[in-house]
Amino acid sequence: MQKWLDLVKMDQTLLQQQLDLQEQLLKRTILLLLVIMVGRIGTLEQHREILGFQKKLENYCTYQERCHTEVKQKLKELGIYGNPMNTIISHLIEQNYLNETRFAEHFVRGKFNIKKWGKKKLLRELKQRNISDWNIKNAMKEISDTNYWESGQALAEKFWKSNENRPLAVQKKKVWNAMQYRGWETELIMENILRLEHQKE
């Protein structure tokens, strides 16, 4: 009888140990499932967030041509760094929202035709935006030599006429400063000042 009772107690102990083990295993499984679910929810939320920022950057690039440097700066302002930043930039390039060749060409045409910038300023501004040498060289082809020379003449004449009531030295200085500020070459400025001065005589 005692042996039988001992066997029953042993069976109960083993049974309890098995139940404890199964309970621990079940708790660990539930915990693991919760971690996986939270991870998936987090990933899903991150994905939705990236899509939202992606849409903002699509609009940002549609409004006007942008370069990589401007887009990276905008993403940093929005608090986007690392892999999400690279994902968004890759998307913008793949979908042709972001194209540095097109940006450089558009930049040169716009700044030359509207703001009357010279080549020195155009080159400096493109380099500050980390545009490649190839894209800069390609973009500068947007300005023909003839058009460049004629625009330089017209700009010099504009500032010369707007200062014609001033003493000659002041008039020359005004033309010089205005054109130098816009990035025109020293030789071209001097040539135009001498030409205008000669016409005045």
What integer pLDDT is reported at residue 40 of this predicted model?
Answer: 46
Domain boundaries, the chain: 2-94, 99-143, 145-201
What integer pLDDT is reported at residue 3 of this predicted model?
Answer: 52
DSSP 121-180: HHHHHHHHTT--HHHHHHHHTTS-HHHHHHHHHHHHHHHHHHTTTS-HHHHHHHHHHHHH
Q: Is the pLDDT of residue 5 over 50?
A: no
Q: Is the pLDDT of residue 2 over 70?
A: no
Q: Is the pLDDT of residue 41 over 60?
A: no
Q: Report residue 139 as tokens.
A: 């973009």
pLDDT tens, position by position, 123-165:
999 999 999 999 999 999 999 999 999 999 999 999 999 998 9
Query: Other C-beta atoms within 10 Å of 155: how many?
Result: 20
- Predicted model pTM: 0.74
Mean pLDDT of 95-114: 96
Q: Is the pLDDT of residue 33 over 60?
A: no
Q: How far apart are CA 68 and CA 71, in angstroms?
A: 5
Q: How far apart are CA 59 and CA 38, in angstroms?
A: 32
